[in-house]
A and B are shown apart, each in its own frame.
Chain A
């Protein structure tokens, strides 16, 4: 598995833990600790690397065991409005017990939600399977013949480390949320809100949520090419101007979406329709995880609306196909495809060719004969440049299809074509007679079609990623 999270520096984390331990144990006037916690921990949420396993609860346990008295003793009753939960060191002191109470309730709710999330994540991660896998791997690693195959041994060890980290992380989440729950229970028993404890718990929850977000994302975007940029190709389906206009709308939607993610986009090819819209377009999206997010957009997109292109304004259904490929760096395309497996077609104006013709027709179509996967490149200005680019894209495409189909060799790949036609759609965009965008794979829907066309796709993208993730789990267990 590819570890996707930002590189976390374990040295720093350990140092942080130490700093914190010393500051909390040595400080009896420990305003320093309570002010430091939110500063220190947030920067280093639980990581998959080798931080001390106690990092996370140091913050809590130590607070509990040391005298928790930078603040007034917890003698306040909830129901005395005159009383203020005054705060040490004269910082903001308008904390009425009322608002303290409200804060507490909202904290309690947050803790409940987080607890539920942790439960779900642990379930969906199939912890037992993971532990089984860990046991298997450890057994494998301890066998006497383990180092006979160095490369395989290295790989096994790295998988082992990944699995261990993941289990540790999942257990850390549990401990953290339990810590927060303890505070909530304690507060309820004491019938008063201790500000130190309160802050303790809310910062734990805040960090836990961040960490859970990241974990989810890592899980959802763990494909080998998910980190890469993406190439989106949009092709208008049958249906003339309406479909070509629809393709143009999709192009705009994806460019908008990419801009919102602060990705760099480049429309590298665009062939206009006769009346309006486009026959096809290719956009390169550069940025981390662009492919991971967009890969689920691959498929046929269907629009239902009153056609602006016929006078009667009849209801019209059109289709456009969207292909998504990773934008792979040169060095990751070191797969060799035997020349005899490739067929090049150079479009030429016909006729006698040579000096007789001058058309800037430099398009190259390349076909991978064993799989029938075909790719066309027209955007470059010389045939050679188009050929090089087409081959690069073909390789990327084959790599992705191989990955999707879990094929170990290109030869095992089955055909993979997005058909922009009825019955193949992944998402419906209904403009008329009602407004609704609905993803047929996930059931995710919204009536705010304007925002969607303005690039608000996160809802759909995320729910598809989750859907895909749960599908892989249910079909293959944990690999």
Chain B
């Protein structure tokens, strides 16, 4: 499957010195990104506020954007269970938070306080770009997270862009599951973990931050875009010493780790191929198919990962996989029981916060 990597306007702003202007967590530059020459985009909220706009112009844009959002009503909901106006308006508010430097004083009173119309505000993107981006949001149904270039996930703000799966709130739970396991087992806390198909690096970073001294995460991804974005995120959270990113398919780049891993996590593509076309446009038309499509029954990658768990985990090692839910969980557990019962044990199915049986966890004997 091909990555849908169109339209990569690499921001000229992207150079490490500018990035470091805005309190990233790290002082080292990005030049040390692994292998690839691919440069990830800088999320809007990390760009310098070099654009000055008249408040009245910003308000004009805001009204325009709000009207479009309101005009959507529930038509997206009806067509493909997409967002309704309420959600779009909330996105708009967050968009402004990311774009306008001093958004609290300027925009929290929008419509309440009479501001001086000639007042100017500092922004991280040009006003014309705002029009363009919001149009893409509504007309092309480009995901909000690609518009602003980031996703708030757990207590992290992760950079994302076209070609990288946007981490979902469900997946946050895997970090909590790992955290539970670590709290009971110091050995695993100091061990090496793997996040296969890391995407933006969300799971790797979430786990990297709760591992103890000596603990480490190896994150792999097939896509060079994902590898670059994950590296960027790892660097933003100063976890280069704890997280190593390797380019390659699943556990191929982890051959040296056979029987050594303390833990293995993954949120692999699990949507059955036939379902892809019916997905909401934000997902189906924009997110990388390679990160979504799990084959005919959606189980291809999950079954492959069972082999990985068998092969890579050391004795007592822990694994957690996200699935499409319910039936897939049961099938995965059945598969493990009938084919991997010699190595995998204590299998358990866990529900996400919406009550859907979402995760399969277990240990290596």
A contact residues vs B (CB 8 Å cutoff)? 251-252, 255, 259, 265-268, 270-272, 274, 344, 346, 348-362, 378, 380-385
List, in ascending order, chain B residues with CB within 8 A of A351's CB.
Answer: 81
Is B282 positioned at the interface, with any CB of A under 8 Å from its CB? yes
Kindly state the separation between the CA atoms of A433 and B87 in the bound complex, as whole angstroms: 39
Pick from A267, A349, A383: contact of B108, CB under 8 Å: A267
The distance from the CB of B21 to the nearest CB of chain A, in whole angstroms, is 22
The distance from the CB of A139 to the nearest CB of chain B, in whole angstroms, is 53
List, in ascending order, chain A residues with CB within 8 A of B59's CB.
Answer: none
List, in ascending order, chain A residues with CB within 8 A of B325's CB.
Answer: 352-354
Q: Which of B108, B171, B291: most chain A CB closer than 10 A?
A: B108
Kindly state the separation between the CA atoms of A272 and B73 in the bound complex, as whole angstroms: 12
List, in ascending order, chain A residues with CB within 8 A of B64's CB.
Answer: none
Q: Which of A266, A268, A353, A362: most chain B CB closer than 10 A?
A: A353
Kindly state the separation between the CA atoms of A352 and B354 in the bound complex, as whole angstroms: 10
A267 pairs with B154, CB closer than 8 A: no
A353 pairs with B170, CB closer than 8 A: yes
A252-B112 CB under 8 A given contacts A354-B324, A355-B165: yes
Q: Which of A346, A378, A385: most chain B CB closer than 10 A?
A: A346
The distance from the CB of B289 to the nearest CB of chain A, in whole angstroms, is 11
- Name the interface size band of chain B: 35 or more
Is B60 positioned at the interface, with any CB of A under 8 Å from its CB? no
List, in ascending order, chain A residues with CB within 8 A of B87's CB.
Answer: 359-361
B70 pairs with A383, CB closer than 8 A: no
Kindly state the separation between the CA atoms of A357 and B280 in the bound complex, as whole angstroms: 7
A353 pairs with B354, CB closer than 8 A: yes
Between-chain CB contacts (< 8 Å), 5 pairs: A259-B113, A353-B354, A355-B270, A358-B145, A382-B169
Smallest CB-CB separation from B269: which chain A residue? A355
Kindly state the separation between the CA atoms of A348 and B354 in the bound complex, as whole angstroms: 7
A356 pairs with B271, CB closer than 8 A: yes
A355 pairs with B168, CB closer than 8 A: yes
Is B101 positioned at the interface, with any CB of A under 8 Å from its CB? no
List, in ascending order, chain A residues with CB within 8 A of B297's CB.
Answer: none
Kindly state the separation between the CA atoms of A255 and B155 in the bound complex, as whole angstroms: 30
Pick from A354, A358, A380, A382: contact of B358, CB under 8 Å: A354
The distance from the CB of B143 to the nearest CB of chain A, in whole angstroms, is 5
Kindly state the separation between the CA atoms of A350 and B93 in the bound complex, as whole angstroms: 23
List, in ascending order, chain A residues with CB within 8 A of B280's CB.
Answer: 356-359
B152 pairs with A354, CB closer than 8 A: no
B contact residues vs A (CB 8 Å cutoff)? 66, 70, 81-83, 85-87, 89-91, 93-94, 104, 108-109, 112-113, 143-145, 152-155, 165-166, 168-172, 267, 269-271, 275, 279-280, 282-283, 287, 291-292, 322-325, 352-354, 356, 358
A346-B354 CB under 8 A given contacts A267-B112, A352-B324, A354-B322: yes
Kindly state the separation between the CA atoms of A140 and B154 in the bound complex, as whole angstroms: 54
B275 pairs with A356, CB closer than 8 A: yes
A360 pairs with B144, CB closer than 8 A: yes
Smallest CB-CB separation from B354: which chain A residue? A348
A266-B172 CB under 8 A given contacts A354-B352, A356-B275, A382-B152: no
List, in ascending order, chain A residues with CB within 8 A of B169's CB.
Answer: 346, 348, 362, 382-383
A355 pairs with B155, CB closer than 8 A: no
Kindly state the separation between the CA atoms of A361 and B325 in the bound complex, as whole angstroms: 19
A271 pairs with B172, CB closer than 8 A: no
A357-B104 CB under 8 A given contacts A255-B113, A382-B155, A382-B169: no
The distance from the CB of B100 to the nearest CB of chain A, in whole angstroms, is 14
Kindly state the separation between the CA atoms of A274 and B169 in the bound complex, as whole angstroms: 28
B112 pairs with A255, CB closer than 8 A: yes
Kindly state the separation between the CA atoms of A306 and B188 in the bound complex, as whole angstroms: 69
List, in ascending order, chain B residues with CB within 8 A of A359's CB.
Answer: 82-83, 87, 280
A355 pairs with B271, CB closer than 8 A: yes
List, in ascending order, chain B residues with CB within 8 A of A346's CB.
Answer: 169, 353-354
Smallest CB-CB separation from A388: which chain B residue? B155
The distance from the CB of A364 to the nearest CB of chain B, in whole angstroms, is 9
The distance from the CB of A15 to the nearest CB of chain B, in whole angstroms, is 43
B81 pairs with A353, CB closer than 8 A: no
A381 pairs with B172, CB closer than 8 A: no
The distance from the CB of A114 to the nearest CB of chain B, in whole angstroms, is 40
